[in-house]
Amino acid sequence: DAGITQSPRHKVTETGTPVTLRCHQTENHRYMYWYRQDPGHGLRLIHYSYGVKDTDKGEVSDGYSVSRSKTEDFLLTLESATSSQTSVYFCAISESDTGDPSGTFGSGTRLTVV
Amino acid sequence: KNQVEQSPQSLIILEGKNCTLQCNYTVSPFSNLRWYKQDTGRGPVSLTIMTFSENTKSNGRYTATLDADTKQSSLHITASQLSDSASYICVVSAGDYKLSFGAGTTVTVRA
């Protein structure tokens, strides 16, 4: 997926442990997003960022925090992982400065909380 | 509440045949509508994007239509190929960061 790298691609973690997922872009775009995707649901927005140190909550932000100290990196942290956070997490960037996501997603991180 | 409903949930077609996927939405205000293709284990990839004034948009064998009055869109796949097997997601934007995602239609193309 052009310009976006997510790491790790797969992770298994124990309930109660903190987990950090990383999204790295090479194209210097302003807007970045974290989504989760679960069977039977559409993608749901967790948090988004509109610049360095500028972030805001999406519709399913409880239990998650984010940080963006550099334009190219957007981190998603599960403060204390729970089984309900088992999901596939996607990072996306907007190629528009207006913030309308223009469709570039990463390959996803499959997270399993046991 | 902004909603995007897709139908059918899944379908199976024979290679070479055509199929049409449906998307109904209640998102307001409306900025644009996008169809994505998501292969298993991969992120969604944009196929088409349409604004309010556009009725149809093509990308190879994929043709999307939009009726903004009835708030309906369709994605037509012509002469299907095995590589078309994927999930197809309809996404409606209300502007800025607000996207509403459909749950997707899973298409299986069989030889």
Chain A: nearest CA to B17, how far in angstroms?
27
Cα dihedral across residues B26, B77, A87, A56: positive or negative: negative
Subunit contact B44:A103, Cβ cutoff 8 A: yes
Q: Say what the pLDDT of residue B22 is.
A: 98
Subunit contact B93:A105, Cβ cutoff 8 A: no
Tell me which chain B residues have a C-beta less than 8 angstroms from the C-beta of A94.
97
Collapsing DSSP to helix, strand or coil, A63 comes out as: coil
Q: Does A107 touch chain B (CB under 8 A)?
A: yes
Collapsing DSSP to helix, strand or coil, A70 comes out as: strand
Spatial separation of the C-alpha atoms in residues A90 and B41, rounded to whole Å: 11
Spatial separation of the C-alpha atoms in residues A113 and A78, rounded to whole Å: 11
The DSSP output letter for A96 is S
Q: Say what the pLDDT of residue A42 is.
A: 81
Q: Does B80 touch chain A (CB under 8 A)?
A: no
Contact B11, B19 (CB under 8 A): yes
- Residue in chain A lying closest to B95 (CA): A100
Q: pLDDT tens digit string along A66-93?
A: 999 999 999 999 999 999 999 999 999 9
Q: pLDDT tens digit string along A89-110?
A: 999 998 776 656 556 899 999 9
- pLDDT 10s per residue in chain B (111 long)? 779 999 999 999 999 999 999 999 998 888 889 999 999 989 999 999 999 889 999 999 999 999 999 999 999 999 999 999 999 999 998 876 678 899 999 999 999
Lowest mean pLDDT among A5-14, A19-28, A88-97, B44-53: A88-97
Q: Say what the pLDDT of residue B66 is.
A: 97
Q: Does B46 touch chain A (CB under 8 A)?
A: yes
- Residue in chain B lying closest to A91 (CA): B43
Q: Is the pLDDT of residue A28 over 90?
A: no
Higher-scoring residue by pLDDT: A40, B27: B27
Q: Does B2 touch chain A (CB under 8 A)?
A: no
Express as a percent the part of chain A with pLDDT over 90: 75
Chain B interface test: which of A33, A43, A88 (most B C-beta within 10 Å)? A43
Subunit contact A1:B32, Cβ cutoff 8 A: no
> Average pLDDT for residues A45-54, to the nearest whole number?
93
Contact A66, A47 (CB under 8 A): yes
Cα of A68 vs its chain's centroid, Å: 11
Spatial separation of the C-alpha atoms in residues A85 and A87, rounded to whole Å: 6
Mean pLDDT of all residues belonging to chain A: 91
Please give the interface size between A and B, counted as residue pairs whose CB atoms are below 8 Å apart: 62
